[in-house]
Amino acid sequence: MRIAAIVFLLATVVVAGYDFPNVWNNAAHTIEDKTGWLPMTLVDEPFRLGLDLQGGTHLIYEADMSDIPELDRVEALEGVRDVIERRVNAFGVSEPVVQTTTTGGTYRVIIELAGVLEVNEAISLIGETPVLEFKEPGEELDRDPTEEELALLETTNVTERADAQAALSRAIAGEDFETLVQELSIESNIAQTGGIIENISDSSYYGDFSLLINQNGLQDGQVNRTVLENSEGVNIFKLVSSSNQEEMLLSHLLICYEGTTGCENGLSEIDASNKINDLKAQATAQNFAELASANSTGPSAAAGGSLGWSFAGNYVPSFAIAAAELTPGEISEPVLTDFGYHLIYKEESRNTPLHTIQRIVMPLSDVYDVIPGVSPWVNTELSGKHLERAGTEFDHQTGSPYVALTFNSEGGDLFGQLTESHIGEPIAIFLDGTPISTPTVQTAIYGGRAVITGDFTIEEAKLLSQRLNAGALPVPVNLLSQQTIGPTLGAISLEKSISAALFGFLLVALYMLIAYRLPGLIAVIALLLFAFMNLAAYRLFGVTVTLAGIAGFVLSLGIAVDANVLIIERLKEEFESGRDFASSVDEAFARAWTAIRDGNITTLIAAGVLYWFSSSFIRGFAVTLSIGVILSMFTAITVTRAYLKTTLEWKKIRKPQLFGVKRKK
């Protein structure tokens, strides 16, 4: 017992040193000055203070999950948390807390930022969604044309149309068409093509020309009497030649097998061959569509195998030959192509004219030509969602910072295509609607890496890469509540609560001394260790000390001596009943224990419930109160007992008046 008592006394000093390292270190240096021996020094790390004591803000956001399927919501919330965490980190707050809660069908993110003065900035940063876009050259109106511009367009068009009419007159008058093409056409590749377009049918891309030819009954070599306006300009054309070709309305049924293009059914060639023969035996003109829907592995299965009207030239050769040989209403024998085995059903066929024309394209202005502020960029499919990460890097030569982007595999492919088709041209990278970089593509870039160079300072480049990394929030968030404590109020609260704690300790100590004399003094010494142990526990477990937390600590000081009161009262009682000191002490501890246990456990239950339902500020109270109650059971049973027994070994001190006891004679 004596050893235990000494250990506890030493522990009081050591634990106090752990709680207040600066005091410990000062003492250590004083010793060094006097003796030349430096005891171990400690890292002076402050207690972790809550937002209400150091100032800061506590934000609760709710994620709007209405568009997210039930099963994906938790994951989406984690996504929101990650994004917010990255954004908050970009803000440079020390030890930000970002937590999620999902109770009762709500999905929330709780954010605690310590010492943030510009809370509004933090809030806008958290809610903001940076938009990263990759654009290619093109035209995109960024406003509607004005009346003036429309009028200008009209007059320009009048002149242009007049020019085209003049050219048409020359062509009709018999001037050499080839010469006119070379002289007037604005098509970029006329040197090679001479303005010739072959095999136009009504349904082809140049169907407008075909329609006019059929409608006007143009003969070979004849110039069309009217011009044709389309998006390319004003067209003047002549029919070079016409021919009739068979156009077929076909359906087919495909059974692919392992190894053919795009096949996923895993059939062997033998199985596929057997199956197609089987189907051939069943197939009739009436059930073909049905069979195709049920069995075909081709994409046309959905349409009952129908391929629509088309020419033989549009199919792979073996298919085209087999189809051409069929009479309308007939179903072919199995046909093998690179795609697998086909059955072809020819529903109808007709002769369709195909035309070859030669044309002159004359300019015709449109709205993009008259509005000066047209954005020269159009969106591509590639955007910030394809970004895997962004980082700040430095140019080896110039030392200037740039932002390096890494795309995911889809983004890498898109970026590859984009650069491939724009070699020698610029592409633009837009952030939040503003171009931040317009590099010119030197070569096609595969592998999903790109850089944004620009006039960045290091900070700007870092901020940009952080913002890009943060990416877009997967779902929208709403700010539900905000609690902000200014640093001034925090400092005042801290100061006041510390003095309340000290004063509380003094009051309790004084009361114990007056009420219980020597045992009271012993209880106070034990209470000192209790107080220091509490503070040490806050450090060890990283408890955030809040205003309510300090209140919990002070309250636990009051509660901690309760156990001592119970024991001392019991001790007096046992002693008065005639026991000697030593056995009275043992008896007192044994008998007081159940009451101490029950009283403390009920307090722990209340603190537990409080912890469960409360939010950060009040939760601190539950935590410190719980720690206090648990530690108080330890100090009351072990520490006070060791002190009491050791003291009582000293015979001179065994005076009833020191214990406030009247011994029965």
Among 254, 370, 431, 485, binds another protein (CB under 8 A): 485
Among 172, 404, 444, 606, binds another protein (CB under 8 A): 606
Site for another protein in 524-553 (CB under 8 A): 547-548, 550-551
> Least separation, in Å, of the C-beta of 475 and another protein?
17
b/e map 393-404, b = 16+ CB within 10 Å: eeeeeeeebbbb
Site for another protein in 572-601 (CB under 8 A): 573, 591, 594-595, 597-601
Site for another protein in 607-626 (CB under 8 A): 607, 609-610, 612-615, 617-618, 621-622, 625
Surface-to-core class of residue 185, CB atoms within 10 Å of its CB (0-12 exposed, 13-18 middle, 19+ buried): buried
Cα–Cα dist 235/286, whole Å: 46
> Least separation, in Å, of the C-beta of 584 and another protein?
16
Per DSSP, 331 falls in state B
Binding characters for another protein, 121-140, by CB under 8 A (x = yes):
--xx----------------
Nearer to another protein, 239 or 625 (CB): 625
Cα–Cα dist 65/56, whole Å: 28
Task: Determine if 113 is a binding residue for another protein (CB under 8 A).
Answer: no
> Which two three-digit tokens encode residue 558?
């009051």
Task: Determine if 662 is a binding residue for another protein (CB under 8 A).
Answer: no
**Amino acid in the structure at residue 496:** K
> Least separation, in Å, of the C-beta of 387 and another protein?
28
> Least separation, in Å, of the C-beta of 76 and another protein?
19
Signed CA dihedral, 158, 162, 167, 173: sign only: positive
Nearer to another protein, 53 or 364 (CB): 53
> Least separation, in Å, of the C-beta of 637 and another protein?
16
CB of 475 closer than 8 Å to CB of 63: yes
> Least separation, in Å, of the C-beta of 661 and another protein?
13
Task: Determine if 602 is a binding residue for another protein (CB under 8 A).
Answer: yes
Among 229, 413, 569, 587, binds another protein (CB under 8 A): 569
346 alpha-carbon distance from chain centroid: 54
**Number of other CB atoms surrounding residue 266 within 10 Å:** 9
**Amino acid in the structure at residue 379:** N
Nearer to another protein, 301 or 559 (CB): 559
Binding characters for another protein, 625-644, by CB under 8 A (x = yes):
x-------------------
Among 14, 324, 515, 637, binds another protein (CB under 8 A): 515
> Least separation, in Å, of the C-beta of 615 and another protein?
7
State the number of CA atoms in the 13 A half-sphere of 106 facing the CB.
12
CA distances from 541 to 114, 545, 621 (A): 19, 11, 15
Site for another protein in 422-481 (CB under 8 A): 479-481
Task: Determine if 491 is a binding residue for another protein (CB under 8 A).
Answer: no
Surface-to-core class of residue 240, CB atoms within 10 Å of its CB (0-12 exposed, 13-18 middle, 19+ buried): middle
Residue 49 pairs in a beta bridge with: 545
Cα–Cα dist 648/589, whole Å: 15
Among 14, 42, 463, 489, binds another protein (CB under 8 A): 489
Which of these, 212, 256, 254, 246, lies nearest to 230 by C-alpha position? 212
CB of 635 closer than 8 Å to CB of 560: yes
235 alpha-carbon distance from chain centroid: 52
Task: Determine if 522 is a binding residue for another protein (CB under 8 A).
Answer: no
> Least separation, in Å, of the C-beta of 578 and another protein?
16
Site for another protein in 55-84 (CB under 8 A): 60, 62
> Which two three-digit tokens encode residue 156?
């320009």
Among 168, 508, 642, 648, binds another protein (CB under 8 A): 508
- # residues contacting another protein (CB under 8 A): 73
Task: Determine if 50 is a binding residue for another protein (CB under 8 A).
Answer: no
Q: What region does 570 belong to: left with phi over 0, alpha with psi -120 to 50, or beta?
A: alpha
Render 452-505 in DSSP notation, one character per residue: E-SS--HHHHHHHHHHHHH---SS-EEEEEEEEE-HHHHHHHHHHHHHHHHHHH
Per DSSP, 318 falls in state H
Binding characters for another protein, 226-245, by CB under 8 A (x = yes):
--------------------
Among 279, 559, 585, 623, binds another protein (CB under 8 A): 559
Nearer to another protein, 168 or 596 (CB): 596
Site for another protein in 192-221 (CB under 8 A): none
CB of 107 closer than 8 Å to CB of 57: no
> Least separation, in Å, of the C-beta of 190 and another protein?
60
Nearer to another protein, 162 or 609 (CB): 609
Nearer to another protein, 318 or 602 (CB): 602
Q: What region does 205 belong to: left with phi over 0, alpha with psi -120 to 50, or beta?
A: alpha
